[in-house]
């Protein structure tokens, strides 16, 4: 199984490490053509506006939409969540608009308000250590979206079919349970074909 990490910005090496610890091959994705070799894709954190501009510049918008439309699982973390959302608070134009969620950028405040906490995530057997850095929040979800975890009654992890998002950075801890969950999504997709 080969999982790509969009390598335009963010903790690419850390995601690849987590993918490999969870039992799959991780690759940095720098060209849209690489998507044809992948079973799944992770869109990491960074700055969502910058990621969106770079995705447009290098031809990733339509390529990732087509990849997702073929049923390939896509996982967005932090800014990757914003990039996948159909609606962004504050009037910012959506980027991929893949997932029926509304998001609020930097909902937890500035860099100095960053924190770590343990979260109970639906589908995981043990609490997950979550690192929040200038994290967005999911402020509304569509009927097809399953809320997987909340923090102080705010939605921070969600799934819609083969799409997964988290407000936090699961790649910045030593555990890989959310990456393993994503690999299970890929396996179940492969088994359904």
Q: Which tokens hold the place of 157?
A: 């992890």
H or E stretch covering 140: strand 137-141
Residue of 15, 72, 95, 171 marked catalytic: 171
Active site residue 169: yes
C-beta neighbour count of 41 within 10 angstroms? 25
Q: One of 15, 95, 169, 179 is an active-site residue; which one?
A: 169
Contacts of 113 (CB under 8 A, 6+ apart): 134
Give the CA-trace dihedral at 119, 170, 122, 139, to 10 degrees: 80
Active-site annotation holds for 20: no
Residue of 78, 162, 176, 179 with catalytic role: 78
171 is catalytic: yes
Report, as residue numbers or ranges, the catalytic residues: 78, 169, 171
């Amino acid at each position: 199984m080969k999982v790509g990490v969009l390598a335009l910005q963010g903790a690419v090496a850390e995601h690849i490490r987590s993918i490999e610890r969870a039992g799959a091959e991780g690759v940095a994705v720098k060209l849209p053509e690489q998507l044809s070799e992948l079973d799944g894709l992770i869109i990491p954190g960074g700055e969502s506006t910058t990621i969106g501009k770079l995705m447009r510049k290098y031809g990733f918008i339509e390529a990732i939409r087509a990849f997702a439309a073929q049923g390939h699982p896509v996982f967005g973390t932090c800014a990757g969540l914003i990039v996948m959302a159909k609606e962004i608070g504050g009037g910012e134009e959506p980027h991929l608009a893949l997932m029926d969620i509304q998001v609020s950028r930097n909902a937890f405040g500035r860099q100095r308000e960053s924190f770590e906490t343990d979260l109970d995530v639906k589908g995981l057997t043990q609490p997950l250590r979550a690192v929040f850095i200038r994290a967005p929040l999911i402020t509304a979800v569509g009927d097809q979206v399953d809320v997987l975890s909340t923090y102080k009654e705010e939605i921070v992890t969600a799934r819609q079919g083969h799409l997964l998002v988290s407000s936090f950075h699961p790649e910045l801890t030593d555990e890989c349970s959310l990456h393993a969950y994503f690999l299970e999504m890929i396996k179940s997709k492969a088994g359904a074909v």
